C-alpha cells in the first residue's frame, strides 16, 4: 500500500469520539482527511478545523463537520504532512503555502502527529526551500532582508502571477542549502518587519513523526525513541 495512505491510517486510528481534530494540507494530509471521512461515515463523532481552504473543501465533500477556529479553544489532535523532518524533529512546512494556518493549528493542539514517507527525512533541513509568508506590502524590501540572511529567494509564482495565500499574503521561497540551527534562523527571519511566519516548525510542537517506508512498514518516532 502507498506509504502515505499507511501513515494516514495510523494517525487517524488515534482519533476518538468527541475530539476536535485539526486537518492538514497536502497529498499526505488528504489521505488522512479521506480516512477520517470514512470513519465519520461509520459513526465517529468529531468536529474538525482545517489548515487551508482546499482541505476545508475536501473535508466537507468527505462528510466531516467543520467548525470555525473562532468557535474552539483547543484542538485535541492535529494530523499533517511536512516537507522535511530532521533528526531532532524540527520541520519545514509550507510547500502547499498553508504554513501560517498550519502553525496556528500545531501550536494550539494537544497532539501534533506528523505523517510523512521516508523521502522527507533529512540529516539537516534546508534542501527544500524554506517558505516564508510575507505581507504583499513592501514584499521586495522584505525579500532583500531575507536574502541578506544568506539565501537565494524569490516570491512564489503561479500562472505568472504572485501566488496569494488563504490569508491574502505572499510566499517567499528561501533556499538556504543547509539550516544548521533552525530556531535561530526562525527568530532572525521573524524579526524582519513584513514577515508573517516562517515554515520552520519547532520540535516542541511535535508529538510524533509517523514515517511510511516503500517496503510497506511504518515507524512512529518520538523525540526519545
**Residues designated as active site:** 102
d(CA 71, CA 67) in angstroms, rounded, equals 7
- Cα gap 19→45, rounded to integer Å: 8
DSSP codes of every residue in 141-193: HHHHHHHTTT-EEEE-EETTEE---TTS-EEEEEE-S-BS-HHHHHHHHHTST
Residue reference for cell 518520538:
222
27 binds ligand A5P (CB under 6 A): yes
User: Of the ranges 6-14, 91-99, 143-151, 190-198, which one interacts with ligand A5P (CB under 6 A)?
Assistant: 91-99
Out of 25, 86, 108, 208, the only residue in the binding site for ligand A5P (CB under 6 A) is 25
Choose, by CB under 6 A, the member of 32, 82, 153, 170 that binds ligand A5P: 82
Q: Residue 93 Cβ, how far from ligand A5P at the closest point, in Å?
A: 3
**87 vs 203: CA distance, rounded Å:** 10
Stretch that binds ligand A5P, among 39-47, 75-83, 141-149, 175-183 (CB under 6 A): 75-83
If binding means CB under 6 A, how many residues of this protein chain bind ligand A5P?
Answer: 17
State which of residues 11, 22, 23, 28 lies at the interface with ligand A5P (CB under 6 A): 28
186 phi-psi bin (left φ>0, alpha ψ -120 to 50, beta other): alpha
**Residues contributing to the site for ligand A5P (CB under 6 A):** 24-28, 80-83, 93-99, 102
Amino acid at each position: 500500500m502507498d506509504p502515505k495512505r499507511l501513515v494516514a491510517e495510523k494517525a487517524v486510528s488515534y482519533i476518538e469520539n468527541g475530539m476536535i481534530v485539526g486537518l492538514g494540507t497536502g497529498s499526505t494530509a488528504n489521505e488522512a482527511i479521506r480516512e477520517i471521512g470514512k470513519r465519520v461515515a461509520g459513526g465517529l463523532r468529531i468536529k474538525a478545523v482545517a489548515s487551508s481552504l482546499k482541505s476545508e473543501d475536501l473535508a466537507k465533500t468527505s462528510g466531516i463537520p467543520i467548525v470555525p477556529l473562532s468557535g474552539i479553544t483547543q484542538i485535541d489532535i492535529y494530523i499533517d504532512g511536512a516537507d522535511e523532518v530532521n533528526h531532532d524533529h524540527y520541520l519545514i512546512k509550507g510547500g502547499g503555502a498553508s504554513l501560517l494556518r498550519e502553525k496556528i493549528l500545531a501550536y494550539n493542539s494537544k497532539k501534533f502527529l506528523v505523517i510523512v514517507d521516508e523521502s522527507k527525512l533529512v540529516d539537516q533541513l534546508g534542501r527544500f526551500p524554506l517558505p516564508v509568508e510575507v505581507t504583499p506590502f513592501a514584499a521586495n524590501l522584505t525579500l532583500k532582508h531575507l536574502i541578506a540572511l544568506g539565501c537565494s529567494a524569490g516570491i512564489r509564482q503561479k500562472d505568472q502571477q504572485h501566488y496569494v495565500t488563504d490569508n491574502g499574503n505572499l510566499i517567499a521561497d528561501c533556499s538556504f542549502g543547509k539550516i544548521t540551527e533552525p530556531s535561530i534562523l526562525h527568530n532572525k527571519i521573524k524579526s524582519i518587519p513584513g514577515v508573517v511566519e516562517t515554515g520552520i516548525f519547532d520540535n516542541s510542537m511535535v508529538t510524533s513523526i509517523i514515517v511510511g517506508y516503500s517496503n510497506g512498514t511504518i515507524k512512529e518516532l518520538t523525540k526519545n525513541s
